[in-house]
Amino acid sequence: MRLIKRMRMAAAAALLVAVAVPATAAAGTGTAVNLVLMDWNIHGESADIAAMAALIRSSGANVVTLQEIHRRPDADQVKQLAEELGWHITDNAHFGAGDNVGPCDDPQPGLAGNAVLSKFKILERVTIRLTDFATCPVNRSMAGVRLDLGGGASIRVFTTHLSPGLSATSVARREAQARKVLDYFGSRSPLILTGDFNAKPTDTLSKWFVQAGWTDTGAKYGSEPTHGDARIDYVYTRGVTTTGGDVLSSTLSDHRPIIIKMTH
């Protein structure tokens, strides 16, 4: 009886291996997909969506992550940009609300937040709230998607916008948000995380991400300032190969867009 039991256990284990291994192998045998990601804080309601779409098209970006993008009843910037790019508003766009449009203590119609748009179909969506202020300051969130790269391959892309400010209170608030982001991901991989972090590469907050195993792609590709004379916008990766990148010279926003090229 013991021999029969051991044989049954071995057969069950072999079945588990037979099911699990091919799935892993299949995911790793596909042709690498070229990703061209643009990250951009578009400066809210002042954004010229048509001009920005033209720059996105000329850059060759097939994944776009955005901060300070608004959805108002009379001006849905997510829908406008998707239409300009020829990407489906449902299949190829995800908006993660952070707060109401307008002064945080006097909400206006609509929502403001972060967005991911891509020529690749979105398989999953998530919005993670990072703060829960009753009035001011503006609430913060993180928007994330899983993109279908074809052939069974996919990649998760997230974007966020952390609170600004140089006071001790502002720094503590921003670092608390960053900690929530880091805790959410843990050691998971592969991942792409972008956004306006309102922190310089030398700040403690920025060092936390590198220490947690994230690659700051801008340190090698696109180390130029992204806002004024500071680099505060980032494309972090984990488990993804970066092949190039740049900070584009554009005056369409108070932030300059980042282009990072990758393969996965």
Q: Identify whether residues 129 and 2 lie together within a single domain.
A: no
Mean pLDDT over 244-259 rounds to: 97
Residue 108 pLDDT: 80
Please give, one letter per residue, the 3-state secondary structure of 214-246.
CEEHHHCCCCCCCECCECCEEEEEECCEEEEEE
pLDDT value, residue 30: 65
Same domain? For 191 and 230 the reply is yes
Task: Give the pLDDT confidence score for residue 29 in this predicted structure.
Answer: 46
CA 192 – CA 143 distance, rounded (Å): 12
| Domain co-membership, 92 together with 20 | no
User: Are the beta carbons of 93 and 66 closer than 8 angstroms?
Assistant: no
Residue 46 and residue 1 share a domain? no
Lowest mean per-residue pLDDT among 106-110, 150-154, 205-209, 257-261 = 106-110
Is pLDDT of 23 > 50?
A: no
pLDDT value at residue 10? 40
Between CA 111 and CA 45 the distance in angstroms is: 11
Pair 3, 52 in one domain: no
Distance of CA 74 to the CA centre of its chain: 26
Taking residues 140-147, what's their average pLDDT? 98
Q: Which domain holds residue 26?
A: 1-30
Residue 25: CB partners within 8 Å, gap ≥ 6? none
State mean pLDDT over 49-68: 98
Least confident of 2-6, 68-72, 167-171: 2-6
Q: Are residues 148 and 83 in the same domain?
A: yes
Looking at per-residue pLDDT, the higher value among 204 and 222 belongs to 204
Q: Are residues 89 and 120 in the same domain?
A: yes
Share of the chain above pLDDT 70, in %: 89
My answer on whether 86 and 26 are in the same domain is no
Q: What is the CATH number of the domain that holds 65?
A: 3.60.10.10
46 and 22 in one domain?
A: no
Q: How far apart are CA 193 and CA 258, in angstroms?
A: 13
Separation between Cα atoms, residue 5 and residue 26, nearest integer Å? 32
Q: Are residues 43 and 92 in the same domain?
A: yes
Whether 64 and 178 map to the same domain: the answer is: yes
What mean pLDDT is reported for the chain?
89
Confidence of residue 45 (pLDDT cuts 50, 70, 90): confident
Those residues with Cβ within 8 angstroms of residue 94's Cβ, 6 or more apart along the chain or in another chain:
115, 116, 117, 122, 125, 143, 144, 145
Angle between helices 49-59 and 77-85 (to 10 degrees): 40
What was the pLDDT predicted at 105?
77
* CA within 13 Å, CB half, 49: 18
Cβ–Cβ < 8 Å for 215, 192: no
Number of compact structural domains in the chain? 2
Tell me what the mean pLDDT of segment 169-182 comes to.
98
Mark whether 85 and 210 lie in a shared domain: yes
